Amino acid sequence: MKARIAVLPGDGIGPEVIAEGVRCLRALAERHGHELILTELPFGGAAIDLAGTPLPEDTLAACLQADAVLLGAIGGPKWSAPEATVRPEQGLLALRRALGVYANLRPVKVHPALLGASTLKPQVLEGVDLLFVRELTGGIYFGEKRREPDSATDVCTYTVAEIERIVRAAARLAQKRRRKLVSIDKSNVLETSRLWRAVATRIMRTEFPQIALEHMLVDSAAMHLIRRPSDFDVLVTENMFGDILTDEASMLAGSLGLLPSASLGEGTRGLYEPIHGSAPDIAGRGIANPCGTLLSVALLLRHSLGLEREAAALERAVSAAIEQGARTPDIAAKGARAISTREVGEAVLAKL
C-alpha cells in the first residue's frame, strides 16, 4: 500500500523518540512492501523559534493531506513563561481540532515482565488491560478563557452531539472487548457532567443494550483505578478528566514513557502520539523511553493504514524486547543495566 505520513518531532525528547518510531516504521514498510512517504515538519516550540507560531500553515496543510500524523511531544521551559502569549500547547490543541480527532484512545496494559517496575504492588496490577477513551476536542480546553486583574475564567461547554459521538466511539470499542463501559464524570457538581451522564445513559440504553454501563464520579474513579485496576475494561470521559486519569493510569504500566495514544475522528486519518510530554529534564541525554512512540506507530498502522498484521508484529517486538531486558532507566529492573533510547529502538528492530 501507499500512504502519506506527516511526522512532527516537536520539542524536548520528542525528536529522540520519534527517530526510533520512524526507523521501525520504515523497516516495517520495507519488509512488507509498503510505500510510505514520510514528511518531517516543524511543530510546537521548535516551530515558534522557526516561524513564530507553534502550528505553521505548511505543517497544518501537510497534516490535513496526510493519511496519518505521528507526533513526538511539545513544550518546555523556554516557551512557558507565565506572560507568554504564544505557547506550544496552543499548536497541539489547534491541530487536534483541525484534524477533528475527538476520540483519544489510550490503552493501558501491564507487561508481565514489568510488574515490578510500578510503584504499586504486583498483585494489584496482574491482568490490567484497559482502554481510556478521552474526549479530545471539547470541554474546558476549548472554552472561552478570560483574565482580569483579580480573576480568571475558563469555560467548560459540551454539546449533546459531542457527547453522543464520543460515547458511541467508546461503546464500539467496548463491543469488541469485554463489553464493560465505565463513564466518568462529576455530575454531583458540574452541569456539563449531568448532561454527559444523561446522554451516555440514553445512547447506551438505546444503541448498545448488550454493553454494561456504569457511571463513576471522577474522584472515585481516580481511587478505584489504583485500588482494583483489573476490573476496568473501557472507560470514557471528558477532555480534562481523561488527561489527568491517564497520567495516573500510566503508573499501572510502570512508566509514563510506555503509553501510546491514537486520536481519531470520523474517517481513518488519525494523530498518534505517546502520552508523555517533552521531558525537558532528560532531553538530549538519549535515555527517554521510546516504547510509547513505538506503540503509537503500531496504533497508526492499525487504525489509519489498516495494517493489522504489521501493527501486531510491532507490538510483539516491543513486548519481546522489554522481556529481554531492553529497558531505559524509567523501567530498568533494580540493579540491571539500563540502555539508551537508540538501543531500545535497535532491540525492537532486531525482534522485527
Q: How far is the CB of 243 from Mn ion (least distance, A)?
A: 4
User: Vertex 174, ends 171 and 176: CA angle to 5°?
Assistant: 120
Given the complex with ligand IPM, which of 129 and 248 has the nearer CB atom?
Answer: 248
Given the complex with ligand IPM, which of 198 and 244 has the nearer CB atom?
Answer: 244
Q: How far is the CB of 89 from ligand IPM (least distance, A)?
A: 4
Q: Which residue has the cell 510530554?
A: 277
Pick the stretch among 165-173, 203-211, 235-243, 283-291 that binds Mn ion (CB under 5 A). Answer: 235-243
Closest CA to 62 of 9, 14, 4: 4
- Considering CB distances under 5 to 8 angstroms, the limit depending on partner class, which of ligand IPM, Mn ion, none binds residue 54? none
Is 233 annotated as catalytic?
no
Catalytic site residue from 243, 272, 330, 351: 243
Given the complex with Mn ion, which of 62 and 184 has the nearer CB atom?
Answer: 184
Given the complex with Mn ion, which of 310 and 330 has the nearer CB atom?
Answer: 330
Contact track, Mn ion, 36-65, x by CB under 5 A: ------------------------------
Q: How far is the CB of 344 from ligand IPM (least distance, A)?
A: 22
Closest CA to 128 of 1, 244, 262, 248: 248
Pick the stretch among 94-102, 183-191, 238-246, 300-308 that binds Mn ion (CB under 5 A). Answer: 238-246
Largest CA distance in the chain: 61
Given the complex with ligand IPM, which of 45 and 75 has the nearer CB atom?
Answer: 75
Catalytic site residue from 102, 141, 158, 272: 141
C-alpha cell at 315: 507490538
Residue nearest to ligand IPM (CB): 89
Given the complex with Mn ion, which of 243 and 273 has the nearer CB atom?
Answer: 243
Is 78 annotated as catalytic?
no
According to DSSP, the β-strands at 151-154 and 212-217 are unpaired
Q: How far is the CB of 218 from ligand IPM (least distance, A)?
A: 16
- Considering CB distances under 5 to 8 angstroms, the limit depending on partner class, which of Mn ion, ligand IPM, none binds residue 92? ligand IPM
Q: Which residue has the cell 512532527?
A: 8
Site residues for ligand IPM per CB under 6 A: 75, 89, 92, 243, 275, 277
Is residue 191 within 8 A of residue 154, CB to CB? The reply is: no
What DSSP string describes 72-89?
EE---GGG--TT-SS-HH
Q: How far is the CB of 84 from Mn ion (least distance, A)?
A: 19
Is 176 annotated as catalytic?
no
Element (DSSP H or E) covering residue 214: strand 212-217
- Considering CB distances under 5 to 8 angstroms, the limit depending on partner class, which of Mn ion, ligand IPM, none binds residue 221? none
Is 186 annotated as catalytic?
yes
Cα separation, 103 vs 51, in Å, equals 30
Q: Where are the beta strands (DSSP E) in 254-309?
A: 262-264, 270-272
Under DSSP, is residue 152 helix (H, G, I), strand (E, B) or coil? strand
Q: Which residue has the cell 518546555?
A: 76
Is residue 288 within 8 A of residue 279, CB to CB? The reply is: yes
Q: How far is the CB of 254 from ligand IPM (least distance, A)?
A: 18
Q: How far is the CB of 234 from ligand IPM (least distance, A)?
A: 18
C-alpha cell at 63: 497534516
Is 102 annotated as catalytic?
no
For the chain, the first-to-last Cα distance in angstroms comes to 19
Q: Which of 243, 310, 315, 330 binds Mn ion (CB under 5 A)?
A: 243
Given the complex with Mn ion, which of 162 and 243 has the nearer CB atom?
Answer: 243
Q: Which residue has the cell 511531544?
A: 73
Cα separation, 74 vs 57, in Å, equals 17
Residue nearest to Mn ion (CB): 243
Cα separation, 226 vs 215, in Å, equals 17
User: Where does this chain bind Mn ion (CB under 5 A)?
Assistant: 243
Catalytic positions, written as ranges:
141, 186, 219, 243, 247
